[in-house]
Structure 1
Amino acid sequence: MAQTNIQDRKIKRTRLKIRLRKQLGKSSKIATCYEALIFIKSYPQKSKSVLSLAAKRLFSRKKYIFLFASPTHGNRGDQLIAYSIKKWCEKYFPLYVFVEYDDSILRDWSFLSLLKSVINKHDLILLRGGGSVGDWYIDYEYFIRHVLKMYTKNKIVMFPQSVNFSDTPFGREEKLNTAFSYDNHPDFTFYARDEISFEIAKTMLKRSKVQLCPDIAMFLFNLHALQPCDRSGVFLCLRTDKNEIHYSNLERNQIVETIAHKYSVRFGDTEAGHKIFLEQREEEIEKMLRLFSESTVTVTDRYHGMISAVLTKTPCVVLRSADHKIVSGIKWFEGLDYVFYAENIDDVPALIEKAMLCENPMVPAFSNYFNELYEEIINEQAKG
């Protein structure tokens, strides 16, 4: 019985397709869109957004920007990145329609194929930035490769990333696979967010365009209005994921005890500990920034802990992480007198004392970098 129903639906779809082609012509774009609408109806709930998009595109000539795989996990640093990309697009591409799909599409190749039916060659595809290019977050790397293979007619931009492949047989193999995939796309631009990643990417990629640009979250330096609040104590924003911690638990615990002996301390992390969906993102980001703005000094080994401290004008002592992200990324803030890098964990108490004396911290202007980011994309699109 079930088999009969499936066959009946297939026959009905085929008849509708034939009728539409006769009415609208085989070469008609409208016919193609209507075909997409017919097939979409047989897909799950998630594909309703594509159905809506296909209907809108029937009657509009607007160009679209697609942001793929925005995070739903609890890392509010990654949420800050996705939010910043959206704000950047709103400023520089006001005439484009911005469409965002969350990371539930990471392994959904059928959905990506379906979406391809309503994306045209003039649309721009964006891949989020962060610290995920490497063999540690390999699922996201596989997703990027699949997108690059599937959407060969579109300009694709990877927002500023750190690059970190392990020096293991697996890491070396995946580095070669990534290089092959990225270089195989005819119009792919990779942005590195630190000098070490930039040099790695330039060596690794022979055909792709490679550029250096600050983490896109720094775009908010020009936008975010800081709410006045009373500050007190030291906010310890420290990682809990063991694989990315540079110092031992014993070293960290000893330094925390030393700090807590002298100052009031609150503990936290950029990790929320629960999923964050698109509609919750802004609220969760504000919660995170409030932790920084209510503190006199922050101590962090988080990349976006450092950025959030600067964004909220909070003097900051930065510890290194297990990779090069912090060591290289902090160079963007070399001119700031309220961001201190602790070469050794034992230096932290003395640096906190210095940070406590900082007055009237200023947020740096990075607008020129993000203007250039826009101009480079537009110029490349014009060539295409």
Structure 2
Amino acid sequence: MSQALEKILPLSFRNYVSNIPVYQYYKGYLSYRNAYKDKTKAIYVVGSPEHDNLGDHAITYAQMNFLRKAFPDYTLIEIVANRLMHNMKCLEEFCSPEDIFVLQGGGNFGIEYFREEEVRRKIISEFPNNKIIVFPQTIYFGDTELGRAEFKKTQDLYGSHKDLTLVAREATSYEIMKAGFRNNSVLLTPDIVMSLDITDPPKERHGALLCIRADKESIFSEQDKKVIQEYTSKHYSTTTFTDTCILRPVSLEDRDHELNTLWNQFKEAEVVITDRLHGMIFAAITSTPCIALGNYNYKVVGSYEWIKHLGYVKFTNDVKQIPALLEELKTIQRPRYNNEFSVQHYSQIIESMASSSAREPASSIVTA
């Protein structure tokens, strides 16, 4: 919460703001906003998580970091997906046509995680006069009757908005979006988490870290997973297990702590083997040697294309290739992540958002 808002809202209200509908909270923001001679403009970051997937939390973390740097003259207001309906009255009353909506990036553009698609549809339908941008996403509706029907609904709604930009995070999604959303602007950039560099401070590294998923997106059997563990046991003194899904809800207040705890696990490993997209990306941004494995769609292999030049991240779908890749990674001395490759791509996002209107003074961050 911004220091300016802390002066407006009573202490008792601030202590419970994360647990209640936030109409009064926006009244506090409105008072802050109107206190300036020239009304400040806002970026509403909509759809952030409170579930257990730290990959999604890292996306929100990176989005906020990116927007804070790129648009210092805007007030950032983060709206959790679970609380969108509580916030609609506030948004309808206080949002101005000059405000921008940023919709959460990730891998939920489709029917697999349909609540997030409903969040996007709600904002796109309710705010036809605002600039809206969907941050880097993987699109996957699937070739089923339900998937085709919902894709058509999404196409019709998105295509009717006059200022909607879609950002794909890998080439396959880009081609699908370009073909399916001809009335919208479509960009291609890396996953926004690649904008981060979490290498420093470095940690002393020991053993292997396995970050293997156990959900519907995995393509590996229990026997495959056992074989992977046997490989690492032969090459490293210890094998530790982790996951980007930590099986407990993560609040906004706990986000940074949980992310840094997981990132430190990566920084303390000699090598990571993972079939999690953000397992691969976390290895990259912490400068950790990594073997990335594929999943049921194209998001891991597609995102690997952005970082394969790093050398210390390798991709395979063949478990039998792991021993040779482990030997190859052992020859790499002190790898170091450099996110400069992504800057030119992310500049497209900045240009798209900045084209809506000129900036005005004042900056803060509000969370709802």
Q: Same fold (TM over 0.5)?
A: yes
Higher gyration radius (CA): 1
Preserved contact between residue 136 and residue 190 of structure 2 (Cα < 8 Å) = yes
Preserved contact between residue 100 and residue 130 of structure 2 (Cα < 8 Å) = yes
Alignment equivalent of 1:90, drawn from 57, 64, 68: 68
**Aligned residue type for 1:122:** E
Identity of aligned residues (%): 31
1:345 deviation in Å? 1.3
Please list every run of at least 4 consecutive aligned residues from structure 1 whose deviation after the TM superposition is greater than 3 angstroms.
none
> What residue in structure 2 maps to residue 170 of structure 1?
146
Q: TM-score, normalised by structure 2?
A: 0.87
Q: How does 1:64-79 map to 2 (within 5 A)?
A: 64-79=42-57
Of Structure 1 and Structure 2, the greater helix share is in: 1
> What residue in structure 1 maps to residue 12 of structure 2?
none
Q: Distance in 1 between matches of 2:32 and 2:246?
A: 36
> What residue in structure 2 maps to residue 34 of structure 1?
none
Structure 1 position 360 matched with structure 2 position 334: yes
1:371 deviation in Å? 2.5
Alignment equivalent of 1:281, drawn from 255, 262, 275: 255
Structure 1 position 112 matched with structure 2 position 88: yes
Q: Distance in 2 between matches of 1:381 and 1:202?
A: 25
**Aligned residue type for 2:99:** D
- Measured against aligned partners, the alpha-carbon deviations of 1:128-152 in whole angstroms (never above 9, x if no partner) come to 1000001101111112111100011
Q: Distance in 2 between matches of 1:346 and 1:67?
A: 43
**Aligned residue type for 1:146:** K
> What residue in structure 2 maps to residue 253 of structure 1?
226
- Measured against aligned partners, the alpha-carbon deviations of 1:204-258 in whole angstroms (never above 9, x if no partner) come to 112011010111111113xx451121101111011121x1001222222222223
Q: Distance in 1 between matches of 2:326 and 2:235?
A: 11
Q: What SS does structure 1 have at the residue aligned with 2:213? A: coil
Structure 1 position 209 matched with structure 2 position 185: yes
Q: How does 1:103-252 map to 2 (within 5 A)?
A: 103-106=81-84, 108=85, 111-221=87-197, 224=198, 226-241=200-215, 243-252=216-225
**Aligned residue type for 1:255:** I
Alignment equivalent of 1:269, drawn from 227, 234, 243: 243
Compared CA separation, residues 287 and 209, structure 1 to 2 (3 A) = same
> What residue in structure 2 maps to residue 376 of structure 1?
352
Preserved contact between residue 210 and residue 273 of structure 2 (Cα < 8 Å) = yes
Q: Which runs of 5+ in 1 are unaligned?
A: 1-43
Preserved contact between residue 237 and residue 301 of structure 1 (Cα < 8 Å) = yes
Q: Distance in 2 between matches of 1:65 and 1:225?
A: 29
- Measured against aligned partners, the alpha-carbon deviations of 1:86-112 in whole angstroms (never above 9, x if no partner) come to 111111111111111112224x2x631
Q: Specify which structure has the bigger relative contact order, considering alpha-carbon pairs within 8 angstroms and separated by 6 or more residues.
A: 2
Alignment equivalent of 1:349, drawn from 287, 310, 323: 323
**Aligned residue type for 1:260:** S
> What residue in structure 2 maps to residue 312 of structure 1?
286
Q: TM-score, normalised by structure 1?
A: 0.84
> What residue in structure 1 maps to residue 23 of structure 2?
47
- Measured against aligned partners, the alpha-carbon deviations of 1:188-214 in whole angstroms (never above 9, x if no partner) come to 000000000000111111201101011
Preserved contact between residue 84 and residue 216 of structure 1 (Cα < 8 Å) = yes
Q: What SS does structure 1 have at the residue aligned with 2:249? A: coil
- Measured against aligned partners, the alpha-carbon deviations of 1:251-305 in whole angstroms (never above 9, x if no partner) come to 2222222322442100001112111111111111101111110000110111111
Structure 1 position 328 matched with structure 2 position 302: yes
Preserved contact between residue 342 and residue 351 of structure 1 (Cα < 8 Å) = no
Q: Distance in 1 between matches of 2:211 and 2:199?
A: 22
1:353 deviation in Å? 1.6
**Aligned residue type for 1:375:** E
**Count of residue pairs brought into register by the alignment:** 334
Q: Distance in 1 between matches of 2:355 and 2:235?
A: 55
1:346 deviation in Å? 1.2
